[in-house]
Structure 1
Amino acid sequence: MSKRQLTRWQKFKLVDHFYWSGVLFFGLVIVFILYLGHKMTEKMMNAQDMPVSTLQIIGTRPYSSDLEIHQVLWELSESESFFSLNVEDVQQRLENIPWIRRVAVRRQWPNGLIIHVTDQTPVAYWNETQLLNDSGEVFSAPIDRITSWLPHFSGADDIASNVLSGYRALWPLLESEGLTLSEISLTPRQSWNVTLADGSKLVLGRGNDVIRNVRMERFLKVYKHVLPQGKQIDYVDLRYDAGFAVNWKKQLGETANNEQG
């Protein structure tokens, strides 16, 4: 074999060596990628069955309990994993707990849930067996968890927000005179009757907030002048255009009497 032929042969062998080395390297890369893909798939398949093991409950919750929330989550987590758990379903079920108003749920990697809970804010008893929240919405919840004083309202559910609006308008007027509004009741014809903490009843009649406020202010202007008489008010009829009528509670040996104001 001549020198020129030998050189060509060596070049061919060198090229052939690089070719097969490249093929081998490429093959190893493919195998490595397939291996990683298999492992990632295996890991994801295992993660699908990963249970929810940590729970963080935050928010303003003076009435709902951790036990109620955990009970709902326990029922769901028995059949659901961290990934398969439907957070909207969790939210809806938690909002069905009587004292809970709003819920926001989000996942926290790798196996936790963060639940933000906002309880109802009751402002009054409604028709004795239900409650009214600060948005004028009627809701039902165990009233034995209420520890603070609340007024009593009664009327048709569809006017509950109007009752709350009227209460908020009347409250400061009465409070400025040292009086506390304890009850509001509406008749089927939406005539307003207000009861004070001392038991005095004020008949405000029908009308909007402005009309009721005018009638109440008219009475409060002379209220302090009525007290020194040593008599206790039974009820005051404020439905007159330019005045009101006072009915006094019966004293021992007396009969009830009316007085125009």
Structure 2
Amino acid sequence: MIIKYGSKQKYRYQHQLLNWILISIAIISIAWSTHKVRTWIHNSYCGPISYIMFTGKRHYTTDIDINQLIVKLRVLGAFITQDVNVIQKQIESLSWIQQVSVRKQWPDTLKIHIVEYVPLAYWNNFQTISTTGIIFRVPKEYRDDDKKTMPSLYGPEGSEKNVLANYYVFNEILKSVKFQVKSLHMDTRYSWQLILQDDIHLKLGRNNMIERLYYFIKIYPILIHKMNDNKKYIDYIDLRYRSGFSVRWG
């Protein structure tokens, strides 16, 4: 027996066939698109870090220093797997670094922001003290240059905050007569001595340092006049007396 399909059955068959073709095309398109997206993600995020960008005001830290430090770590890898904490901790180990942040910037850049301690003075000859009283060491190549431009502060271990505070006070007072502190020393007995920028040595003692410093400002014009008349220079001025002072001439 021969069965003939009617026009409706034939149309239904063609419609089903078309749907199957469209679904197949859609599946193939989705699969192809997924493959392309996965390839793009892999190339974009799994590629190596190619650039390092530095930000922040720096005096001691050069781009070359950090690049060499990272290379020595041998931790620079793919963008997506890079552990920025390892690099950050290594940079923070440099004593002159106050703060550092390391983050990844798509697609292949490492961004490093560095904040250094601001140096104010030499501390006990071998270290540096910051404007906020933090003790740190600077790279060797900068020490000689800093020593020419920065004052020197001295004090027992743990006294840096106290010495720094008095440095600010003394220096501010001396500005009125255009003097600057070249060196400030506090010994273990809390006795203070100053050396000014023209190498005048002031002995202030343990008590009433501010009053004695103002007294020096008062008597200095007299000492200058005598120094010029006698063609001598002042070796030191001892202000530790209750009334008066003594001068050693050179």
TM-score (norm 1): 0.78
Distance 1:75 1:20 in 2: 64
- State the 1:102 CA deviation: 2.9
Query: Within 5 A, what are the aligned runs for 1:25-174?
Result: 25-47=22-44, 49-76=46-73, 80-146=77-143, 147=145, 148-174=148-174
Whether 1:234 and 2:231 are equivalent positions in the alignment is no
Distance 1:239 1:82 in 2: 70
Distance 1:152 1:101 in 2: 21
Q: 5+ unaligned residues in a row in structure 2: which ranges?
A: none
Aligned residues: 239
Equivalent pair of 1:138/1:157 in contact (CA under 8 Å): no
TM-score (norm 2): 0.80
Distance 2:80 2:219 in 1: 69
Distance 1:49 1:74 in 2: 19
Distance 1:142 1:46 in 2: 40
Match of 1:201 in 2: 201
Name the aligned partner's letter for residue 29 of structure 1: A
Q: C-alpha deviations, 1:207-253, integer Å up to 9, x for none?
A: 6xxx533331232122222322225242323474xx4532423x5xx
Q: What RMSD, in angstroms, separates the aligned Cα atoms of the two structures?
A: 2.8
User: Structure 1 residues 223 and 246 mapped into 2: Cα distance closer, same or farther (>3 Å)?
Assistant: same
3-state SS of the aligned residue for 1:158? coil
Q: C-alpha deviations, 1:1-40, integer Å up to 9, x for none?
A: xxxxx9x932333234333422432333233223322333
- State the 1:128 CA deviation: 0.4
Q: 5+ unaligned residues in a row in structure 1: which ranges?
A: 1-5, 252-261
Equivalent pair of 1:153/1:185 in contact (CA under 8 Å): yes
Equivalent pair of 1:61/1:119 in contact (CA under 8 Å): yes
- State the 1:167 CA deviation: 1.1
